[in-house]
């Protein structure tokens, strides 16, 4: 695999003057991180997008498709997995700001009869404190298998799988990251607005921010549109292209397709208060006690938060889906998104990667 350094890489600009948008040290460190992930870490390809509010730089390593030696383009799309949850949370918090949803209200108030407990609140879902069982990973809810079998699932189908299993804990008593929570939130958006989740996402976030490379694939649309990076997984038969999935299964919890440029634009707008109003944004970005995950992030409402060693606060999200792992977020001054197109052999040092990209 080849790495493509800044001199030859994709720089989102019409002028090579943008090469100076990151310090040389930052560029060298981020490029080194990417090369480590592909050359020794086992990933087929990686792409990082850095943004300092005025300029955007894209660094890559490896190849977009294992079958050829093409270079990775700056606007190659990827599946962003659970980063989708942040956009779903933003939609719900907009409805909260509009007094259409109460965070403390039981989900039963908005979606009667859907859940087995009438004590699960909207806030519980956003915080992953509902106790609902996980549907993801069940044999009939595997998005790659479903695509190969030409099957779709409705959100109600996936929730039914979850509620057929015992609860993980009493609502509000613990934290456990669970896709089921954000499928229910997608249904909540539809129930409250009377419009599809896809329409609300498009009109409230994607179109206002001009996120032209971001979209929610409809049920049955299993291929990624346009130029994109192929996702791979190591299966019993060897390394396999798993980028073709059934999007109706992860849906509002993880089905979005996007680019680093679009995601960085989203994070800048979010943290600037241009998507979610100040009061709701404060609660969204304040980590709960006892929610630190493997990446070292404390979870708020659809986002993680941590203080980097240099003292700046990072707000973001990370997640994986078949063939793709994405880490995306921002500080007050910079935004950073990186995607790998196969799982690395070992968990990368996330805090170090964030520090290299985002510390002054």
pLDDT in tens, 163-216: 999 999 999 999 999 999 999 999 999 999 999 999 999 999 999 999 999 999
φ/ψ of residue 252, rounded to 5: -75, -5
Which among 321, 71, 81, 342 is positioned nearest to 231, based on CA atoms?
342
Q: How far apart are CA 60 and CA 268, in angstroms?
A: 22
* Tens of pLDDT, residues 297-312: 789 999 999 999 999 9
Which among 259, 265, 269, 244 is positioned nearest to 321, based on CA atoms?
244
Q: How far apart are CA 320 and CA 178, in angstroms?
A: 13
**Angle in degrees, CA 78, 227, 39, rounded to 5:** 60
pLDDT of residue 295: 55
pLDDT of residue 174: 93
How would you classify residue 90: left for phi > 0, otherwise alpha for psi between -120 and 50, otherwise beta?
alpha
Residue 207 to residues 20, 75, 118, 215, 248: CA-CA distances in angstroms? Answer: 30, 18, 35, 10, 22
Q: How far apart are CA 7 and CA 14, in angstroms?
A: 14
pTM, two decimals, is: 0.92
* Tens of pLDDT, residues 21-72: 446 888 899 999 999 999 877 889 999 999 987 888 899 999 999 988 789 9
Within 10 angstroms of residue 157's Cβ, the number of other Cβ atoms is 16
């Amino acid at each position: 695999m080849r790495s493509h350094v800044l001199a030859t890489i994709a720089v989102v600009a019409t002028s090579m003057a943008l090469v100076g948008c990151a310090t040389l040290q930052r560029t060298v460190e981020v490029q080194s991180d990417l090369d480590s992930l592909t050359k020794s870490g086992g990933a087929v390809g990686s792409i990082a997008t850095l943004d300092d509010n005025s300029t955007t730089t894209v660094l890559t390593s490896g190849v977009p498709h294992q079958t050829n030696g093409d270079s990775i383009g700056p606007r190659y799309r990827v599946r962003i997995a659970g980063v989708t949850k942040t956009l779903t949370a933003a939609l719900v918090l907009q409805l909260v700001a509009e007094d259409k949803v109460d965070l403390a209200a039981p989900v039963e108030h908005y979606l009667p009869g859907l859940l087995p407990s009438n004590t699960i609140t909207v806030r519980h879902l956003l915080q992953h404190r509902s106790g609902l069982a996980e549907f993801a990973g069940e044999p009939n809810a595997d998005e790659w298998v479903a695509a190969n079998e030409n099957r779709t699932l409705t959100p109600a189908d996936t929730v039914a799988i979850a509620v057929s299993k015992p609860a993980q804990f009493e609502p509000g008593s613990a934290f456990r990251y669970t896709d089921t929570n954000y499928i229910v939130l997608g249904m909540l958006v539809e129930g409250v607005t009377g419009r599809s989740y896809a329409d609300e996402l498009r009109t409230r976030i994607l179109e206002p921010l001009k996120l032209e490379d971001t979209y929610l694939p409809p049920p049955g649309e299993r291929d990624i549109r346009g130029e994109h990076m192929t996702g791979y997984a190591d299966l019993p038969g060897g390394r396999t292209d798993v980028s073709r999935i059934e999007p109706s299964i992860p849906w509002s919890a993880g089905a979005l397709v996007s680019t680093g440029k679009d995601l960085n634009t989203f994070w800048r707008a979010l943290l600037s208060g241009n998507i979610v109003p100040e009061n709701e944004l404060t609660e969204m970005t304040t980590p709960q006690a006892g929610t630190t995950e493997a990446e070292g992030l404390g979870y708020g409402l659809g986002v993680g938060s941590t203080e980097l060693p240099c003292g700046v606060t990072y707000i973001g999200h990370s997640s994986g889906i078949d063939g793709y792992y994405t880490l995306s977020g921002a500080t007050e001054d910079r935004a950073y998104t990186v995607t790998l197109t196969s799982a690395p052999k070992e968990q990368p040092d996330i805090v170090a990667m964030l520090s290299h990209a985002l510390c002054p």
